[in-house]
Structure formats: structure tokens, C-alpha cells
Amino acid sequence: MVKIYGIKNCGSVKKALNFLESQGIPYEFVDFKTTPPTSKNLEFWLQFVGIEVLLNKKGTTYKRLNLKDKNLTLAEAKEWLIKEPMLIKRPVIEVKNRVIVGFCEESYQQVQW
């Protein structure tokens, strides 16, 4: 089953959920606000996408925390993602031992759900 991580009021997450529903694809939604990702989640995702994909440098949380000037190491970036899940680009989708980050309808149409 497809597992989608994010927050319900995020525009990209809403688009992803609408896409899955319109295609009749069953999924489980995990809300970062009630169930924050674990280091195990993070390590799994990082097997498929780099930290530069997972860390949302365009978001308000990144800017609010002034992380741009900190030149984070990989270990420090991981710590921040666990401590502040809103730093994670959304949605994060686990499908058939693969991870997709963000919403792109054209890319979603190519996935073997």
C-alpha cells in the first residue's frame, strides 16, 4: 500500500491526495503533526533521495530558523529534520520500495502504483 507523509493543509499534499483518490489508488496518510517521522523513516527515505531533495530550503521553517547561513553537515541536517519535521519537503510518498518527494502530476502518471 502507498504511504504518504505530510500535513493535511499543505497544498502539495492536497494535490497528491487528490491525484491518488482520482486514480483509485489506496493509501495510508501519516500526518507529521501527530506522528513525526523517526530517524528510521529518515534513513529509509535517504536511501532513495538525497538530503538536498528532502530538506525544504524554500519553506518558511527553514527561513525562520536561519539555516541558510549554518552550512549544515549531513548529520546536522538529519537532526534538524527529526527535530523540525516542517523542514521536510512534502509530500513524502513510499510506494513499492521507492520514495517520491514533492508533487508533480506528470511524474506521478509514470509511477507503477
- Entry pTM: 0.93
Catalytic site residues?
10
- Residue ranges of domains in the chain, CATH in brackets: 2-110 (3.40.30.10)
Cα(95)–Cα(58) distance, integer angstroms:
25
The β-bridge partners of 5 are 30, 92
Work out the burial of residue 45: count CB atoms within 10 Å of its CB; fewer than 13 is exposed, 13-18 middle, 19 or more buried: buried
The model's pLDDT over 41-97, given as tens digits with 9 standing for 90+, comes to 999 999 999 999 999 999 999 999 999 888 899 999 999 999 999 999 999 999 998
